[in-house]
Amino acid sequence: MASAALGLGSNLGDRIGRCRQAVSELAGHSGIRVVKGSSWYETRPVGYADQADFINGAVLLDTTLSPPHLLDALKKVEERLGRTATWKNGPREIDLDLLIYDDLVLDLPRLSLPHPAMAERAFVLAPLAEIQPDLVHPVHGRTVSDLLEDLKPVDHLVRRVADP
């Protein structure tokens, strides 16, 4: 089994409900075992700012799926939960990002591991540091809690709003 970390987000409709539904759907997949989920955080949008705030969280899982097959499973969950195409950094019903897969470093046309921007994003690092602060970023060689500390203060960007 491989270990993976996912980031989840939504800024349309029932944001927390949709994120919880995504975790539930992932837990129902035969090749995925959800190990732990973070609290839910309300976060400011990045890139395109003229949109509603997001709800973000993180999930740790064990999987028998390869990284491309896990990505396919994530995309299917997004589709079932109503994700529609928008523009880069635009609003979305649900967003599931594969952040880390073991200590694999990978750069394929449709999948880069670790997630290329995760070390600069408080909305990724805050929930991930809550559930596994000692997780080491395979490129930077630093823990997610250290990477989050580098970004502080982040209170104006990320605010815990609900339990898992």
Residues assigned a catalytic role: 83, 92, 95, 97
Q: In whole angstroms, what is the distance from residue 39 CA to residue 58 CA?
A: 8
- Rounded CA separation 117/133 (Å): 18
Region of 80 on the Ramachandran plot (φ > 0 left; ψ -120 to 50 alpha; else beta): alpha
First to last CA, the chain: 24
Under DSSP, is residue 70 helix (H, G, I), strand (E, B) or coil? helix
